[in-house]
């Protein structure tokens, strides 16, 4: 079982948090902080497993994480998950995001948390891995956004226009700003598939 999936940046700002067990908002924040604390002090070239996510679960749990440019992707899992499998799943997740957002960067995650959630929902459900095939995940995610678009139809057009205008006014949106760029191309795991 996956207990929680967290994405935060190098400063510990949460970009996505998905807990598969209920915690109060305060506890959640504390878990995020603590996890960030544990993960961020590790060097780049150490292993990606950490024992004792103290707050979530207990000794059975592990933190498995990957660090991409400005973002940490952390999965808290119990012993029924394969460590390398989860690492690979993180890779699949990030690559999927990369495809869905076309060169994903931190800003995409910041502004489209809902979309990230929706993609994640196609991969992991209730703490269990639902789908690992990237093309299947993308197909389903895209089918749903298509539906969304068709529902919005003409009525949505003005809103989209306004939103585009708003975006234009703000210089931070372009992706070439360094802070938010994620370089996804990370040496792959020994092939899993």
Partner 1 sequence: MALKIVKGSIDRMFDKNLQDLVRGIRNHKEDEAKYISTCIDEIKQELKQDNIAVKANAVCKLTYLQMLGYDVSWAAFNIVEVMSSSKFTYKRIGYLAASQCFHEGTDVIMLTTNQIRKDLSSPNQYDTGVALTGLSCFVTPDLARDLANDIMTLMSHTKPYIRKKAVLIMYKVFLKYPESLRPAFPRLKEKLEDPDPGVQSAAVNVICELARRNPKNYLSLAPLFFKLMTSSTNNWVLIKIIKLFGALTPLEPRLGKKLIEPLTNLIHSTSAMSLLYECVNTVIAVLISLSSGMPNHSASIQLCVQKLRILIEDSDQNLKYLGLLAMSKILKTHPKSVQSHKDLILQCLDDKDESIRLRALDLLYGMVSKKNLMEIVKKLMLHVDKAEGTTYRDELLTKIIDICSQSNYQYITNFEWYISILVELTRLEGTRHGHLIASQMLDVAIRVKAIRAFAVAQMATLLDNAHLLTGNTQRNGICEVLYAAAWICGEFAEHLEDPMLTLEAMLRPKVATLPGHIQAVYVQNAAKLFATVLQKHEGETDSQAAQETSQLLIDRLPLFVQSANLEVQERASCILQLVKYIQKLQQKNVEVAEEVTALFAGELNPVAPKAQKKVPIPEGLDLDAWINEPPSESESEDEKPKAVFAKEEPKHSRSRHTEVDEKELARRREARKQEQANNPFYIKASPSSQKVYDAPGVEHIPVVQIDLSVPLKVPGMPMSDQYVKLEEERRQKEKADKKKKEKKKKREKRGKGRKGDSGPESEEDITPAHHVDIVTEEMPENALPSDDDDKDPNDPHKALDIDLDKPLADSEKLPVRTHRPEVLKSPAEDRDDNTIPQETKKKSSKDKKEKKKDKEKDRKRSKEDKKKKKKHKDVEEELPESLPEEVVQSEETKEVAVPPTSADVVTVSSSAAAATVDSSSAAAAESEPEELKDTEPDDTKSSKHKKKKQKKEKEEKEKKKKKRHHHHHHHHSDAGAEDSVQNGTVEDEEPLPPMSNYSLLAENSYIKMMKEDADQVCDIQGNHQDESKVVVSVIFENKSDSFLKSMEFNVLDSLNSKLQRPDGAGPHDGLTVPFQLPPGVSNEARFVFSVQSIVMPQKLKGTLTFIVKTDESSTHEKLDFKLHFTCTSYLITTPCYSDAYAKLLESGDLKGSSLRLEGVNMPFHHLLARICFHHHFSVVERIDSCASMYSRSIQGHHVCLLVKSSDQTVSIDAKCDEPSLLGNVLDEIKQTFSKC
Q: Which residues contact 15 (CB under 8 A, 6 or more apart)?
A: 7, 8, 9, 71, 106, 109, 110, 113, 116
Of 12, 67, 110, 186, the residue at the interface with partner 1 (CB under 8 A) is 110
Query: How far, in Å, CA of 61 to CA of 158, rounded?
Result: 48
Distances (CA, A) of 158 to 115, 147, 153, 161: 21, 18, 10, 5
The reply on whether position 131 binds partner 1 by CB under 8 A is yes
Q: 75 near 90, Cβ under 8 Å? A: yes
Interface characters, 60-99, with partner 1 (x: CB under 8 A): --------------------x-xxxx-xx-----------
Closer to partner 1 by Cβ: residue 98 or 180: 180
Cα angle 17-45-177, degrees, rounded to a multiple of 5? 55
Q: How far apart are the first and last CA of the chain?
A: 21
Give the three-state DSSP class for 87: helix
Closer to partner 1 by Cβ: residue 34 or 131: 131
The reply on whether position 43 binds partner 1 by CB under 8 A is yes
Closer to partner 1 by Cβ: residue 46 or 185: 46
Nearest approach, Cβ of residue 181 and partner 1 (Å): 17
- Which residues form the interface with partner 1 (CB under 8 A)? 1, 14, 16-18, 20, 22, 24-26, 28-29, 43, 45-51, 80, 82-85, 87-88, 110-114, 117-118, 121, 125-133, 136, 140, 143-144, 147-148, 151-152, 155, 158-159, 162-163, 166-167, 170, 172, 189-193
């Amino acid at each position: 079982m996956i207990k929680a999936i967290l994405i935060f940046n190098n400063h510990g700002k949460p970009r996505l948090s998905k807990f598969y067990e209920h915690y109060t908002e305060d506890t959640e924040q504390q878990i995020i902080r603590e996890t960030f604390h544990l993960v961020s002090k590790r060097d780049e070239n150490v292993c990606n497993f950490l024992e004792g996510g103290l707050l979530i679960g207990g000794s059975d749990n592990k933190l498995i994480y990957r660090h991409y440019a400005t973002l940490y992707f952390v999965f808290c899992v119990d012993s029924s998950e394969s460590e390398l499998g989860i690492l690979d799943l993180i890779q699949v997740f990030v690559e999927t995001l990369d495809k869905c957002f076309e060169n994903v960067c931190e800003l995409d995650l910041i502004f489209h948390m809902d979309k990230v959630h929706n993609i994640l929902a196609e991969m992991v459900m209730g703490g269990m891995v639902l789908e690992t095939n990237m093309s299947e995940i993308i197909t389903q995610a895209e089918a749903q956004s298509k539906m969304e678009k068709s529902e919005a139809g003409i009525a949505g057009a003005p809103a989209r226009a306004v939103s585009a205008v708003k975006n234009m006014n703000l210089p931070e949106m372009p992706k070439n700003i360094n802070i938010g760029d994620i370089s996804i191309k990370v040496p792959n795991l020994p092939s899993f598939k």
